[in-house]
């Protein structure tokens, strides 16, 4: 069992790898982005408050996402948690450490998924997912076998994210470099950081992550 963070800019492939780890190792993905999108879809007060912030590509407040994660940690995961898109600020990183400690748990590894910015634009602008099972696809690199039908569950409910466009992406990258990339140094200093080349083919990235996990 291991608790890990997948750390990297939007489009690095955190969600794709988290889904693999769920399937292969029985870990539980905790994506604050997914939780926030769910809150928007179900029309909660919080969902309405964060909608515009998310569409602009800015970060929502630390209090909101820390609250979401705290709630999820109440339910133990035998295979461990994959934190995907959280933490994104130093305050969130400290809060995560405290939350895990209060449950007698620790963080076992932080995996930085390294990519270059040009690749991110190409990845993000072609991205779509299955609204039913969450499988991730791409217009160019990984289209569904039958157009419009999910390979995994057969659903025709394909979704594109409102913030997967070039303007929002620029803002999301700016937020990443200003507020999230300091976490690389933070976890390096704690001796918890491993880096994988996230530009490699999906299976190779998965294998690199598996290697880190098997050592953790």
Count residues binding ligand AMP (CB under 6 A): 17
Question: Is 127 one of the catalytic residues?
Answer: yes
Map the footprint of ligand AMP across residues 159-198, applying CB under 6 A: 163, 172
Sheet holding 136-138, edge to edge: 136-138, 127-130, 158-159
Which of 17, 29, 32, 194 is the binder for ligand AMP (CB under 6 A)? 32
Q: How far apart are CA 140 and CA 179, in angstroms?
A: 31
206 makes contact with ligand AMP (CB under 6 A): no
Residue 79: which of 23, 117, 137, 33 has the closest Cα? Answer: 23
Question: Is 56 one of the catalytic residues?
Answer: no
Q: How far apart are CA 133 and CA 50, in angstroms?
A: 24
Question: Is 88 one of the catalytic residues?
Answer: yes
3-class DSSP state for residue 118?
A: helix
Which of 8, 57, 80, 134 is the binder for ligand AMP (CB under 6 A)? 57
Contacts of 99 (CB under 8 A, 6+ apart): 66, 69, 70, 73
* Closest separation in Å from C-beta 214 to ligand AMP: 26
Which of 1, 46, 51, 53 is the binder for ligand AMP (CB under 6 A)? 53
Binding site for ligand AMP (CB under 6 A): 10, 32-33, 36, 53-54, 57-60, 65, 85-86, 88, 92, 163, 172
Residues noted as catalytic = 14, 88, 127, 161, 172
């Amino acid at each position: 069992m291991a608790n890990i963070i997948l750390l990297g800019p939007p489009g690095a492939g955190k969600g794709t790898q988290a889904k693999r780890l769920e399937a292969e190792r029985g870990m539980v993905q905790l994506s604050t982005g997914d939780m926030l999108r769910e809150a928007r879809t179900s029309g909660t007060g919080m969902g309405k408050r964060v909608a515009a912030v998310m569409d602009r590509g800015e970060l929502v407040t630390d209090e909101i996402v820390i609250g979401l994660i705290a709630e999820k940690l109440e339910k133990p995961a035998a295979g461990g948690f994959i934190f995907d898109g959280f933490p994104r600020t130093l305050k969130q990183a400290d809060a995560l450490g405290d939350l895990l400690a209060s449950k007698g748990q620790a963080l076992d590894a932080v995996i930085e998924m390294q990519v270059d910015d040009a690749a991110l634009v190409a990845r993000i602008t072609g991205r779509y997912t299955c609204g039913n099972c969450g499988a991730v696809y791409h217009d160019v690199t990984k289209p569904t076998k039958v157009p419009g039908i999910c390979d995994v569950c057969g659903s025709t409910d394909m979704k594109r994210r409102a913030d997967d466009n070039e303007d929002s992406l620029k803002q999301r990258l700016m937020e990443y470099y200003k507020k999230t990339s300091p976490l690389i140094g933070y976890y390096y200093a704690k001796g918890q950081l491993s880096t994988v080349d996230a530009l490699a083919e999906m299976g190779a990235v998965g294998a690199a992550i598996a290697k880190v996990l098997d050592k953790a």
